[in-house]
Amino acid sequence: MGTSLSVVVIADDLTGAADTGVQFCPAVGPVALLDTIPQGCDGLPTGLAISTNSRRLSPDSAARAVRTAVIQALPWSPGLIYKKIDSCLRGNLGDEIEALLAATGSPAAFVAPAYPEQGRTTEAGIHLINGRPVAETEIGRDPRAPLTTSDLAHLLSGQCRLGIGSVGVDLLEGADEPLIDAIRSHLDKQRRLIVFDVHQRCHLDRIAILAVGNFPAVVPVGSAGLAGSLARLMAPERLHPPAALRPIDSWLFICGSASQTLAAQVARLVQATDWPQLRIGAAELATGWPTNVLEQGQKLFEETGHKGLIISIEPGDGCRPPADPQQVVLGLAGIGAELAGRLHPDGLFLCGGDTAEAFRRRVKATGLLLREQPAAGLVRGEFIGGTCADRSVVTKAGGFGDEETLIGLVNRCAP
């Protein structure tokens, strides 16, 4: 590939890096997801997604992780650096964007976390999920990091020291000159974060045109939604056909997200397939594996004719003190890795960025080669190295999709 990359995506968790990185695959060619760029490597794909695993870190630690990722990426002369943020506004958004601008020397960032196809929009500065302010949804009740505001500019101003300007859909839907003048006015006033209202895909397309055509020094910041608009704009004539992928006849689902959306999807999958769901208590996961859990999982898998097994965290009863979330994730990933080694399923499904990253480390994979997007929010690829290098792996952020998403995935990948 030479000494340059077409695109580098920097995301704060593994599922987000995968979901965003795969958007660029059809346009620029193969994209790999790594947590660090191998030193002296000259065989990288044409695109790279880096997971800083910083969503749950302190603001200072998250900023340092982003600076490290940028320092690693710049020697490869990327044609585009894209900062992926959560479409539900979780994490250290302001701190990470500020660190990115400082490390790249970029004058400003265009910030648009909306993803209209998944119900994420920004209207009059308020970020919404299916029409509800995001802080009033289950995201606002996240026990680890509850979101307290749905106002995008207010959220960013509380997390960084940069001036903030806003652009409404009236300007995005209007003529070029007033829109460009408004953005230049913000920049002249040292407003380095320009946040956009977005109601529809066409608004993201317009932001992508601004970023590539009018303000190429500005860093685009958003979810997988804006990434898709940029990818189509970057190289529409070079769209690569999807790779021919092996069918998946047997599955191990490892569900580490507490999302109600995922719970409904799993329930529908169980209803449609009659696959067993092995639920393990959070306290048990945090303090040690339950006795015979591996044998139990293997028996349940064999009873399905080696077709499918779902492992997940048992919902708490509200009476016990909460377990250490990180230890719970590590416990679930450890059981999943052991079962993957015993059961040898064709496909692995990993939901929840922390769980996916913990599983990757447990199986000693150095990264993920992204292949396709079976549906919005789902990414299919293969691990690079490690004990599961020969398996297909699908990642998913917890809150994406409808009740048919998982059964649709299984049907789509079936022989």
pLDDT band at 321 (very low <50, low <70, confident <90, very high): low
CA 78 → CA 15, 25, 39, 46, distances in Å? 22, 15, 16, 9
Indicate whether 42 pLDDT > 60.
no
Q: Is the predicted pLDDT of residue 4 greater than 90, yes or no?
A: no
Q: pLDDT grade, residue 414 (50/70/90)?
A: very high
Between 14 and 259, residue with greater pLDDT? 14
344-370 residue pLDDT tens: 999 999 998 999 999 999 999 999 999
pTM of the model as a whole: 0.92
Residue 87 contacts residue 115 (beta carbons within 8 Å): yes
Q: How confident is the model at residue 2 (pLDDT cuts 50, 70, 90)?
A: very low
Bigger pLDDT: 29 vs 99: 99
- Mean pLDDT confidence for 8-31: 92
Task: Express each pLDDT in 323-347 by its tens digit.
Answer: 788 899 999 999 999 999 999 999 9
The C-alpha atoms of residue 128 and residue 112 are separated, in whole angstroms, by 12
Rounded Cα distance between 340 and 360, Å, is 12
Domains and CATH numbers, the chain: 7-238 (3.40.50.10840), 251-413 (3.40.980.20)
C-alpha 119 chain-centroid distance: 16
Say what the alpha-carbon torsion angle 33, 37, 42, 47 is, to the nearest 10 degrees.
Answer: 30
User: What's the pLDDT score for residue 237?
Assistant: 58
**Cβ atoms of residues 289 and 231 within 8 Å:** no
pLDDT of residue 143: 73
Q: How many residues make up the chain in this entry?
A: 415
Collapsing DSSP states into helix, strand and coil, what is residue 36? coil
Contact 22, 64 (CB under 8 A): no
Q: Tell me what pLDDT residue 317 has.
A: 47
227 has a pLDDT exceeding 80: yes
pLDDT at 1 over 50: no
Instruction: Quote the pLDDT of residue 280.
Output: 93
Place of tokens 């092995």: 278
3-class SS at 217? coil
- Give the tens place of pLDDT for each residue, 177-219: 999 999 999 999 999 999 999 999 999 999 999 999 999 999 9
CA dihedral 233, 238, 244, 245 (to 10 degrees): -30
Residue 119 has pLDDT above 80, yes or no: yes
* 238 — pLDDT class (breaks 50, 70, 90): low
Four-residue CA torsion sign, 158, 160, 165, 167: negative
Give pLDDT tens digits for 121-164.
Answer: 999 999 999 999 999 998 998 777 789 999 999 999 999 999 99
Digit-coded pLDDT (tens) for 402-411: 999 999 999 9
Residue, of 46 and 380, whose pLDDT is higher:
380
Nearest Cα neighbor of 256 from 149, 144, 366, 180 is 144
Q: Give residue 145's pLDDT.
A: 79
Sign of the dihedral through C-alpha 346, 350, 356, 362 = negative
pLDDT at 258: 82
